[in-house]
């Protein structure tokens, strides 16, 4: 049986490395090594008692190596999914209720993300004290500040406004 | 197509540009025809950075249209010194003036400010970003001297921080031009600008160089900008580089007799004074063109029944 058959709450050996959840979200098919960035996007740092399981660099047919993040007791907002799509464009979001997957969908890259990333350009007007919400257009291979036009291709996760 | 604000030259089509340049030429030929067109109109000048040519040419343009200006004055004596945000400043001055001209050291300042006001806002330079009205007078000067199609232009100097360069490069993609960018490696065009130019022209017509002699003989126009000493942490490094990007009579010996040399000014030592009285020099003419071009822009933006571009525009 393939390790990547998406029975995230089934009995797959790899899936068993992280515990099943009762209610919450399973974020699967995250590119290997991005799980901690996923947690950063979700604002999860472990200090608030969140119940989270993480599998990193699990063998995957589709991605070769993938990460899996399971968050108990929380369903993601669309904003969170939008930002997630920037660093995990192949991710699948599985909503779990009472151990059953009740919703499953691939993330879709939005055209614009607002208020979730900070511009890395110190000369950008959004980095001062202005009453302005950051806005980035999403490119095929990165994001672009709608104000100063700076393009960021790598390290997008480091721009997350926490 | 109608523009309520002029933030970047990227928003302008070829039709928009030709409309402005044609109208500027009409005004240039007979400024008295528009002398009272905007009597009673007030233009708010918000310059958060020092400026001579841009500020004075806007002021002159507005007054030649019959209007007047209200000036925020130096930042040191304004509410900005007390910590007022740009968003608040423009909202306040919007209540006094019929249009705003903004220069600000931060990139994206004009974009942000335009989101807070309803009156037309013209970007007069936002950090290392854009300077579209400079571009319009640059294009006007280029058209007068060399035409805008079938044009080979060299743009040399500080291409990284030079907002006039960024705006000009974008605008020229509307025309049949070959653009050669000449700079030290550390001052090359920002990757964002290169990205846009490639998007607009599929990379054709865009070449980057580190030596002027590679392209000088082929140029119709050489647009020179200042390499700013403060960009170099090491003075020796600056001295070594700066000398390679200066123009004098010897340099131009390899140029076409029809070459037009431009510079947004102020210059320091990029162009030797011996060039000033030659047929190459167009930089003072370029500065003077700021008035009719800005008169045309202001009139088009302030006239309720007109706009930059027209119904026939694509």
What are the tokens at A126?
A: 């959004």
Taking the alpha carbons of B85, B87, B90, B94 in that order, is the dihedral positive or negative? negative
- Residue A162 pLDDT more than 80? no
**Residue A140 pLDDT class (50, 70, 90 cuts):** confident
- Look at B107 and A146 and tell me if their CB atoms are within 8 Å: no
What are the tokens at A132?
A: 């302005």
- Look at B111 and A131 and tell me if their CB atoms are within 8 Å: no
What is the value of pTM for the model shown?
0.88
- Residue B4 pLDDT more than 90? no
ipTM: 0.91
Residues A36-57, mean pLDDT to the nearest whole number? 90
- Residue A7 pLDDT more than 50? no
The model's pLDDT over B26-50, given as tens digits with 9 standing for 90+, comes to: 999 999 999 999 999 999 999 999 8
> What pLDDT score does A3 carry?
40
- Residue B10 pLDDT more than 70? yes
Which residues in A lie closer than 8 A to residue B111 (C-beta atoms)? Answer: 125, 146-147
Q: What is the C-alpha separation between B20 and B25, in angstroms, rounded?
A: 9
- Look at B105 and A123 and tell me if their CB atoms are within 8 Å: yes
CA-CA-CA-CA dihedral for B29, B30, B34, B35, to nearest 10: 130
Kindly list the residues of chain B whose beta carbon comes within 8 Å of any beta carbon in chain A: 83, 85-87, 104-109, 111-112, 115, 126-129, 191-192, 195
- Residue B16 pLDDT more than 90? yes
For chain B, report the end-to-end CA distance as a whole number of angstroms. Answer: 7
Q: What is the C-alpha separation between B65 and B243, in angstroms, rounded?
A: 43
* Class of residue B37 by CB neighbours under 10 A (exposed 0-12, middle 13-18, buried 19+): middle
Average pLDDT, chain B: 92
**Residue B239 pLDDT class (50, 70, 90 cuts):** confident
- Residue B314 pLDDT more than 90? no
Query: Which of A55-58's residues contact partners 24+ apart within 8 Å by CB, and which partners?
Result: A55/A14, A55/A15, A55/A17, A55/A18, A56/A32, A57/A32, A57/A33, A58/A3, A58/A14, A58/A17, A58/A32
Lowest mean pLDDT among A44-48, B11-15, B89-93: A44-48
The model's pLDDT over B256-309, given as tens digits with 9 standing for 90+, comes to: 999 999 999 999 999 999 999 999 999 999 999 999 999 999 999 998 655 554
Which residues in A lie closer than 8 A to residue B85 (C-beta atoms)? Answer: 128-131
Residues A127-134, mean pLDDT to the nearest whole number? 94
Residues B190-216, mean pLDDT to the nearest whole number? 90
**Residue B229 pLDDT class (50, 70, 90 cuts):** confident
Which residues in B lie closer than 8 A to residue A132 (C-beta atoms)? Answer: 87, 112, 115
- Chain B's closest residue to A130, CA to CA, is B85
């Amino acid at each position: 049986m393939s390790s990547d058959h998406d029975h995230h709450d089934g009995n797959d050996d790899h899936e068993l490395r992280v515990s099943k959840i009762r209610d919450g979200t399973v974020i699967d098919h995250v590119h290997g090594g991005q799980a901690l960035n996923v947690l950063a996007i979700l604002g999860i740092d472990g200090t608030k008692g969140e119940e989270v399981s993480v599998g990193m660099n699990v063998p995957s047919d589709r991605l070769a190596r993938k990460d899996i993040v399971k968050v108990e007791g929380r369903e993601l907002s669309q904003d969170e999914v939008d930002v997630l799509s920037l660093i995990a464009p192949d991710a699948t979001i599985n909503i779990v209720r009472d151990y059953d997957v009740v919703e499953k969908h691939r993330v879709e890259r939005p055209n614009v993300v607002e208020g979730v990333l900070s511009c890395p350009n110190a000369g950008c007007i959004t980095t001062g004290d202005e009453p302005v919400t950051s806005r980035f257009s999403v490119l095929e291979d990165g994001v672009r500040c709608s104000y100063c036009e700076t393009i960021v291709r790598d390290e997008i996760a480091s721009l997350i406004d926490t | 197509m109608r523009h309520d604000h002029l933030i970047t030259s990227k928003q302008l089509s070829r039709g928009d540009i030709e409309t402005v340049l044609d109208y500027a030429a009409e005004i240039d030929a007979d400024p008295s025809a528009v002398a009272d067109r905007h009597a009673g109109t007030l233009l708010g000048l918000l310059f958060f950075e020092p400026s001579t040519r841009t500020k004075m040419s806007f002021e002159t343009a507005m007054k030649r249209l019959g209007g007047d200006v209200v000036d925020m004055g130096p930042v040191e004596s304004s509410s900005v010194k007390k910590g007022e945000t740009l968003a608040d400043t423009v909202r306040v001055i919007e209540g006094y003036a019929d249009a705003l001209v903004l220069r600000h050291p931060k990139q994206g300042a004009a974009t942000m400010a335009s989101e807070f006001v309803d009156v037309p806002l013209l970007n007069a330079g936002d950090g290392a970003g854009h300077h579209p009205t400079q571009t319009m007078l640059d294009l006007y000067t280029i058209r007068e001297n060399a035409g805008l199609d079938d044009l080979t232009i060299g743009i040399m100097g500080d291409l990284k921080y030079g907002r006039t360069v960024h705006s000009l490069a974008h605008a020229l993609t509307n025309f049949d031009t070959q653009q050669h960018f000449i700079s030290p490696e550390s001052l090359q065009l920002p990757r964002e600008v290169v990205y846009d130019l490639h998007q607009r022209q599929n990379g054709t017509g865009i070449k980057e160089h580190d030596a002027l002699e590679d392209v000088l003989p082929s140029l119709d126009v050489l647009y020179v900008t200042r390499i700013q000493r403060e960009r170099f942490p090491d003075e020796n490094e600056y001295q070594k580089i700066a000398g390679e990007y200066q123009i004098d009579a010897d340099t131009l010996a390899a140029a076409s007799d029809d070459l037009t040399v431009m510079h947004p000014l102020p210059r320091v030592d990029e162009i030797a004074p011996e060039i000033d009285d030659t047929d190459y020099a167009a930089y003072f003419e370029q500065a003077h063109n700021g008035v009719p071009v800005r008169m045309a822009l202001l009139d088009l933006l302030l006239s309720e029944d007109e706009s930059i571009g027209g119904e026939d525009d694509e």
